[in-house]
């Protein structure tokens, strides 16, 4: 069935890229059709319905035995999500693991997930929003690794500022430490250069957790008395407070109130004195007598709920009060007279004219009820089309359509942060679970000449005890019971050990490698006939060398700080187990799914240009982490959002030619 209406733009996906695109375009007066694969209930525009749906998510989370990222949310057979609990070892070549939505062809299983549903993965993300570093955009030029971006950090700076306003970032610019800065003066100069003099985030930094204070104080003593050695040189460990997409105290110095489209200059503008008015559907001037102060965006069902982070520590997978940003907050700011939302509508193919390359429609399947085997096939029509699904889903749709792939890069260069976890008992109680999941990161190894030899990493101090690697506190209880501890002895044991638990995770950047990829195979389809992604994945020596180096540094830190090391690696711990230099290492996925349709300067080796428009179809744009040529050490959501604003600006220019 074909919808006779032709929209200005058809968008696939309501995660942060789709939501930012929809809000920006509709506020500029453009008509938008948004196709969302998830259930209608998840995107209720009625506040009471929205609240009840979120309560259902919370109750599902509370009773889940394994509180993994997607545990609170529906996993619909007609639009399946990746589930980390489905990950299994791969027995050998031509023997893929098919237990979950992904078909894992190996050699190693891909260990990260994302959420297909209203709001996308921002429902379960941690909320960390660091920018990429300037050198991350020049990996090939500086270090002979990976590829260079077709844009620079400086090109992206104004869009980073837009992203920080849209998400509502809390943080302290002056407490972001640059790896190359050797003194305070250099630190100030680099901050002024790459953030702008006097730039501040919308909100003050979230207070750092108690455990951060305990561990950073211990490390400060190590820096003074017995610094760790890296390649034989004394190295002082630096920490940064982590910018975060969760509500805090508004920063009174923050000047911006909105992002609007200027049809005269054909640019998006960060506005100090204007804003888009939802009542009049136009950009209006701020009252002259009004003193502006940034207002945190609360819960979607009640703006007065979630005005401040309450320190629930369940950021992954769900913030109980929505103090953490999610993409529905952005989507609900769209002009509702200009947007049409079709839920339970799964995009299956891009249709295009083979002679001109013009996209003529998006085929989608609308299933009737959750897990229904019946569906209707429809075609959405627009002037411009935007795929805003995950890096895996975007690639799958393009491959199913034989579209945008003259470079043979669609699906290739799949990347993630490979996380090496280490855990131990502090010499004093650090009391994890007080505050958000993480508020401080070790930033010393985010950049440096070592990237010629091995991956860089960022290392958050986690605030969740040992839950991630060994399922504490349940495992602590089981171990104590196995030793016949009961009553007071059991209580004393748990009260002494659980508050001392320290977990670090070294998030190592992965290089773009063409054989790490998404493919499709007619033998593997979901319940309504769409392809399941086939994942080919491995870890290179570039990664393994980073594991070796990070673990060596960690060993020194634990020993010098008096932290009792309980870290162990084993093929039975996780399915992702690799050997290097006669040592074994486990790694865990970060949920930072990047690559698969990268941007570049030439259609010969990339899928989209610097504005996220496909080289092969001038009315098709791809947004999301799939555009990123390299990953760096930053959580990718902020960069993805900045790139989406840049793409939205390009689309508006194209529509208003």
In this structure, the number of other CB atoms found within 10 A of the CB of residue 198 comes to: 9
The three-state secondary structure class of 224 is helix
pLDDT in tens, 178-194: 999 989 999 999 999 99
Torsion of CA 397, 402, 407, 413, to 10 degrees: 30
Look-up of token digits 């733009």: 9
What integer pLDDT is reported at residue 93 of this predicted model? 84
Q: Is the pLDDT of residue 38 over 60?
A: yes
Give the confidence band of 1 by pLDDT, cuts at 50, 70, 90. Answer: low
The helix (run of H) or strand (run of E) holding residue 494 is helix 487-497
Q: What is the mean pLDDT of residues 557-576?
A: 97
Q: What is the mean pLDDT of residues 469-473?
A: 95
Give the confidence band of 46 by pLDDT, cuts at 50, 70, 90. Answer: confident
What integer pLDDT is reported at residue 3 of this predicted model? 62
Q: What tokens appear for 174 in the block?
A: 């002056």
DSSP per-residue codes, 560-578:
HHTPEE-----TTT-S-EE
- Please state, for a pLDDT cut of 90, what percent of the chain lies above it: 96
What integer pLDDT is reported at residue 262 of this predicted model? 97
Residue of 121, 124, 117, 122 lying closest to 40 (CA atoms)? 117
Q: Is the pLDDT of residue 4 over 80?
A: no
Q: What tokens appear for 350 in the block?
A: 């891009």
What integer pLDDT is reported at residue 290 of this predicted model? 83
Q: Which residues contact 340 (CB under 8 A, 6 or more apart)?
A: 7, 31, 32, 33, 34
CB contact at 8 A, 365 and 377: yes
What integer pLDDT is reported at residue 575 of this predicted model? 94
Q: Is the pLDDT of residue 301 over 90?
A: yes
Give the confidence band of 91 by pLDDT, cuts at 50, 70, 90. Answer: confident
The residue length of the chain stands at 657
Strand order in the sheet with 517-519: 103-107, 534-537, 517-519
Domains and CATH numbers, the chain: 2-82+92-204+243-417+509-539+587-655 (3.50.50.60)
pLDDT in tens, 68-85: 999 999 999 999 999 999
What integer pLDDT is reported at residue 2 of this predicted model? 55
pLDDT in tens, 146-205: 999 999 999 999 999 999 999 999 999 999 999 999 899 999 999 999 999 999 999 999
Q: Is the pLDDT of residue 288 over 90?
A: no
Give the confidence band of 291 by pLDDT, cuts at 50, 70, 90. Answer: confident
Alpha carbon distance 508, 309 (integer Å): 28
Q: Which residues contact 137 (CB under 8 A, 6 or more apart)?
A: 148, 149, 151, 152, 153, 630
Alpha carbon distance 608, 404 (integer Å): 8
Alpha carbon distance 287, 274 (integer Å): 9
pLDDT in tens, 503-521: 999 999 999 999 999 999 9
Report the DSSP beta bridge partners of residue 381. Answer: 6
Alpha carbon distance 479, 634 (integer Å): 36
What integer pLDDT is reported at residue 36 of this predicted model? 98
CB contact at 8 A, 123 and 117: yes
Look-up of token digits 């060993």: 555
CB contact at 8 A, 334 and 27: yes
In this structure, the number of other CB atoms found within 10 A of the CB of residue 6 comes to: 13
Instruction: For residue 581, report the phi and psi dihedrals to the nearest 5 degrees.
Output: 50, 45
Angle made by CA atoms 494, 498, 503, in degrees to the nearest 5: 155
CB contact at 8 A, 525 and 343: no
């Amino acid at each position: 069935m074909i919808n006779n209406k032709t929209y200005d733009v058809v968008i696939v996906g309501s995660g942060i890229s789709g939501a930012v695109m929809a809000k920006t375009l509709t506020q500029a007066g453009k008509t938008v059709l948004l196709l969302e694969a998830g259930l209608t209930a998840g995107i209720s525009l009625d506040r009471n319905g929205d609240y009840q749906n979120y309560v259902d998510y919370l109750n599902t989370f509370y009773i889940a035995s394994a509180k993994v990222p997607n545990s609170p949310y529906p996993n619909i057979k007609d639009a399946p999500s990746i589930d980390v609990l489905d990950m299994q070892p791969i027995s050998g070549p031509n023997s893929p693991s098919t237990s979950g939505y992904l078909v894992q062809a190996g050699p190693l299983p891909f260990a990260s997930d994302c959420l297909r549903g209203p709001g996308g993965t921002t429902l379960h993300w941690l909320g960390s929003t660091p920018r990429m570093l300037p050198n991350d955009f020049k990996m090939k030029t500086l270090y002979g690794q990976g590829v260079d971006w077709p844009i620079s950090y400086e090109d992206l700076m104004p869009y980073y500022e837009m992203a920080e306003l849209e998400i509502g970032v809390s943080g302290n610019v002056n407490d972001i430490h640059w790896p190359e800065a050797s003194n305070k003066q250099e630190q100030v100069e680099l901050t002024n250069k790459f953030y702008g003099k006097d730039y501040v985030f919308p909100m003050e930094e979230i207070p750092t957790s108690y455990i951060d204070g305990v561990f950073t104080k211990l490390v400060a003593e190590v820096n003074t008395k017995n610094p760790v050695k890296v390649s034989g040189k004394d190295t002082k460990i630096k920490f940064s407070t982590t910018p975060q997409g969760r509500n805090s105290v508004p920063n009174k110095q923050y000047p911006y109130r909105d992002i609007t489209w200027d049809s005269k200059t054909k640019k998006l503008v960060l506005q100090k004195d204007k804003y888009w008015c939802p009542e009049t559907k136009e950009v209006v001037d701020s009252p002259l007598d009004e003193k502006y102060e940034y207002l945190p965006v609360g819960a979607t069902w009640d703006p007065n709920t979630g005005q401040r982070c309450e320190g629930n520590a369940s950021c992954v997978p769900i913030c109980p009060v929505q103090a953490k940003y999610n993409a529905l907050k952005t989507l609900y700011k769209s002009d509702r007279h200009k947007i049409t939302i079709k839920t339970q509508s799964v995009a299956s193919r891009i249709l295009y004219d083979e002679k001109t390359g013009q996209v003529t429609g998006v085929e989608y399947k609308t299933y009737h009820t959750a897990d229904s085997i019946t569906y209707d096939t429809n075609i959405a029509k627009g002037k411009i089309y935007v795929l805003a699904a995950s890096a895996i889903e975007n690639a799958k749709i393009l491959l199913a359509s034989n579209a945008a792939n003259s470079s043979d890069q669609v699906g290739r260069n799949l990347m993630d942060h490979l996380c090496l976890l280490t855990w131990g008992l502090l010499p004093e109680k650090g009391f994890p679970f007080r505050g958000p999941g993480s508020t401080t990161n070790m930033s010393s190894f985010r950049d440096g000449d070592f990237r010629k030899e091995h991956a860089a990493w960022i290392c958050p101090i986690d605030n969740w005890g040992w839950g991630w690697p060994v399922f504490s506190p349940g495992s602590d209880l089981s171990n104590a019971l196995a030793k016949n501890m009961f009553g007071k002895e059991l209580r004393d044991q748990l009260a002494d050990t659980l508050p001392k638990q320290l977990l670090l995770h070294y998030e190592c950047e992965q290089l773009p490698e063409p054989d790490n990829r998404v493919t499709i195979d007619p033998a593997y389809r979901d319940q309504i006939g769409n392809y399941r992604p086939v994942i080919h994945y491995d870890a290179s020596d570039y990664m393994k060398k980073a594991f070796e180096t990070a673990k060596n540094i960690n060993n020194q830190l634990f020993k010098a700080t008096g932290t009792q090391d309980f870290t162990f690696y084993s093929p039975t711990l996780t399915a992702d187990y690799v050997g290097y230099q006669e040592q074994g290492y486990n790694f865990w996925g970060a949920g930072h799914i990047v690559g698969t349709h990268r941007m570049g300067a030439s259609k010969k080796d990339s899928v989209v240009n610097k504005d996220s428009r496909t080289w092969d179809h001038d009315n098709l744009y791809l947004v999301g982490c799939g555009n990123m040529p390299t990953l760096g050490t930053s959580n990718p959501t902020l960069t993805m959002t900045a790139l989406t604003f840049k793409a939205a600006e390009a689309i508006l220019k194209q529509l208003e030619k």
